[in-house]
Chain A
Amino acid sequence: EADIYQTPRYLVIGTGKKITLECSQTMGHDKMYWYQQDPGMELHLIHYSYGVNSTEKGDLSSESTVSRIRTEHFPLTLESARPSHTSQYLCASSEYGRGWTDTQYFGPGTRLTVL
């Protein structure tokens, strides 16, 4: 089992609140990702990082921001939550440049509900 953690697991907040979803991995992986997934639906990449001080936007437009100050930590922040942000947020990590296999290890996810 992979060592990648997300907190909180569940979050219910009101509109307009600022929130930060935490993601940490202890595998020393360079690549980290944030996906948004509605129940039973496909995964949409919203942010990714190749390493410290590297962040890129994914294909799904998102009002969130990320930072990568430490290898093991990749938090996602919503400055002003809206009901349209209600979803599950999955964090993942993978090794970079270590041969052909680029397995993504997923965290347990954060289920966010914005009222």
Chain B
Amino acid sequence: GQQVMQIPQYQHVQEGEDFTTYCNSSTTLSNIQWYKQRPGGHPVFLIQLVKSGEVKKQKRLTFQFGEAKKNSSLHITATQTTDVGTYFCAGTYNFNKFYFGSGTKLNVKP
């Protein structure tokens, strides 16, 4: 069935190190969104990617959508303690309902 896989499940980094999380689908996605959920909080929208090969940047965050629209990544440069949380990708297959990845929990040691 339709499913979005996300790795890694956990990532522990030292403050200042980079971080990347990856999402993969076996079938072509219509679009993909990224959300951040702080501990004890609710998911908050970060960005949406729609076009093949699209790259978007938000300060230290870089989001990519693969050429085949089957994979996506979120890269954080020089992590800070404020980056702590779980990052989820969510994709649709026909701009219908969203399929969430399992999330990557990021811990940043000061």
CA distance A34 to B95 in the complex (A): 17
CA distance A53 to B44 in the complex (A): 27
Interface of B, secondary structure class, is: strand
A82-115: contact bitstring with B at CB < 8 Å (1 yes, 0 no)? 0000000010100000001111111111000000
Using known A-B contacts A103-B45, A104-B33, A106-B44, determine if residue A58 contacts B103 with beta carbons closer than 8 Å: no
CA distance A58 to B100 in the complex (A): 12
B105 touches A40 (CB 8 A): yes
Contacts of B88 in A (CB 8 A): 42-43
B43 touches A106 (CB 8 A): yes
- Number of cross-chain contacts by CB at 8 Å: 55
A103 touches B102 (CB 8 A): no
Measured between C-beta atoms, what is the minimum distance from A10 to chain B in Å? 12
A interface size (C-beta, 8 A): 24
Option from A43, A48, A102 in Cβ contact (under 8 Å) with B100: A43
Measured between C-beta atoms, what is the minimum distance from B91 to chain A in Å? 11
Contacts of A76 in B (CB 8 A): none
A58 touches B97 (CB 8 A): yes
Contacts of A56 in B (CB 8 A): 97
B41-80: contact bitstring with A at CB < 8 Å (1 yes, 0 no)? 1111100101000000000000000000000000000000
B42 touches A108 (CB 8 A): yes
A102 touches B95 (CB 8 A): yes
